């Protein structure tokens, strides 16, 4: 005979049992992508794949395309050794300076060739003050109007060999994946190998983008399949990965916040992949 949990512990089930419900909190307007499948902002994301796999093209598309996040971020900051010389970043540099109107003389730099945690902390502190100031204004009982918060984006690209950036325990980048979301800061780390990223970052992802790897055993089997096998079994995840990356520059996009596993996996942003038994 099978016992229910309530019967096993001698609990009487009725409509008066206490329930856990979320507390009512203020609601704010945060501009989101017009495309429903895109990660909700603020996002904590990871793009993983070898060099020349298409990561920079994908990151540029996230920023510049109207059906993704164009117009969603008030400011964008990029840490990359090639940010000032790589032509792939050219349209992004122009967009940040000309359309977003970032004035480096007044606001400080938005492009960094080297990673220094102090730069990120300074920017995050400023964004925190702006967010807290807006929330204080909206809490005024006499305030009437939209309650908008402004988002900013951090991108850390091609810095897997810099231990200060991606793997330092307790470093500022880990704070970005744990605390900065409260200030409407989205963060994307681009890396060539998942194992170079700290566990804190990996466990706090809301979205991930995996490009085709070159060494199946070391990066895919020992990295991606083991790390995300709680979502679906490793065999199914491998099949999803192969389907998504069968064509050059395509990637497996995983939406970690999807409530239904059938709405979690995508071939790039083009097609949804549904796991089968």
The structure tokens 């085709």 sit at 212
Residue 20, C-beta contacts closer than 8 angstroms, at least 6 positions apart: none
The predicted model gives 147-172 an average pLDDT of: 78
Residues 149 and 116 reside in one and the same domain: yes
Q: Which domain holds residue 159?
A: 40-208
The structural domain count of the chain equals: 2
The rounded Cα 85 to chain-centroid distance in angstroms is 25
Boundary residue ending a domain (208, 226, 250): 208
Q: What is the mean pLDDT of the chain?
A: 86
Q: Tell which residue, 135, 114, 100, 108, has the closest CA to residue 29.
A: 135
Q: For 18-40, what is each residue's pLDDT tens digit?
A: 677 666 777 899 999 999 999 99
In-domain check, residue 159:
yes
The confidence score (pLDDT) of residue 219 equals 58
Same domain, 60 and 197: yes
- The 10s digit of each residue's pLDDT in 204-226 is 999 999 998 776 555 555 567 67
Identify whether residues 83 and 180 lie together within a single domain: yes
Q: What pLDDT does 212 receive? A: 87
Which DSSP string do the residues of 121-132 spell out, in sequence order? HHHHHHHHHHHH
Q: What is the pTM of this model?
A: 0.87
pLDDT value for 159 = 75
| 159, 190, 208 - which closes a domain | 208
Q: Comparing C-alpha atoms, which of 78, 82, 55, 107 is closest to residue 245?
A: 55
Residues of the chain with pLDDT > 70: what percent? 83
pLDDT value at 133 more than 90:
yes
Q: Within 10 Å of residue 239's Cβ, how many Cβ atoms?
A: 15
Is residue 192 very low, low, confident or very high in pLDDT (cuts 50, 70, 90)? confident
The residue among 161, 179, 208 that closes a domain is 208
* Strand 251-255 to 265-267 pairing: antiparallel
Look at residue 7 in the predicted model and tell me its pLDDT.
Answer: 47
136 and 78 assigned to the same domain: yes
Q: Identify the pLDDT of residue 8.
A: 46
Neighbours of 223 (CB within 10 A): 21
Q: Counting Cβ atoms within 10 Å, is residue 63 exposed (0-12), middle (13-18) or buried (19+)? A: buried
Pair (91, 161) in one structural domain: yes
Burial class of 51 by CB neighbour count within 10 A (0 to 12, 13 to 18, 19+): exposed
Same domain, 252 and 188: no
Do both 97 and 179 map to the same domain?
A: yes
pLDDT-derived band at 1 (thresholds 50, 70, 90) equals very low
- Residue 153 and residue 89 share a domain: yes
pLDDT of residue 231: 75
Residue 47 placed within a domain: yes
Residues 85 and 204 in one domain: yes
Residues 66, 123: one domain?
Answer: yes
Tell me if 21 is assigned to some domain. no
Most confident of the ranges 91-100, 166-175, 235-244: 91-100
């Amino acid at each position: 005979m099978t016992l229910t949990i309530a019967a096993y512990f001698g609990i009487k089930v009725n409509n008066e049992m206490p329930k856990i419900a979320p507390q009512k909190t203020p609601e704010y307007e945060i501009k989101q992508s017009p495309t429903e499948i895109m990660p909700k902002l603020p996002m904590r994301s990871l793009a993983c794949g070898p060099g020349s796999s298409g990561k920079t093209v994908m990151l540029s598309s996230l920023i510049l395309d109207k059906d993704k996040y164009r117009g969603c971020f008030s400011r964008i900051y990029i840490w990359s050794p090639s940010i000032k010389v790589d032509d792939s970043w050219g349209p992004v540099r122009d967009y940040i300076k000309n359309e977003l109107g970032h004035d480096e003389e007044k606001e400080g730099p938005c492009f960094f060739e080297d990673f220094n945690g102090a730069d990120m902390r300074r920017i995050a502190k400023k964004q925190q003050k702006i967010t807290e100031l807006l929330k204080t204004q909206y809490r005024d009982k006499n305030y009437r109007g939209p309650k908008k918060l402004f988002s900013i984006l951090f991108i850390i690209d091609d810095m897997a060999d810099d231990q200060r950036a991606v793997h330092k325990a307790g470093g500022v980048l880990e704070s970005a994946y744990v605390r900065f979301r409260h200030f409407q800061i989205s963060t994307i780390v681009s890396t060539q190998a998942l194992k170079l990223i700290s566990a804190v970052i990996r466990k706090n992802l809301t979205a991930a983008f995996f490009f085709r790897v070159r060494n199946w055993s070391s990066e895919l089997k020992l990295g991606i399949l083991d790390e995300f096998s709680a979502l679906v079994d490793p065999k199914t995840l491998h099949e999803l990965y192969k389907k998504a990356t069968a064509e050059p520059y395509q990637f497996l996009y995983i939406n970690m916040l999807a409530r239904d596993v059938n709405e979690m996996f995508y071939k790039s942003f083009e097609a949804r992949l549904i796991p089968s038994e």
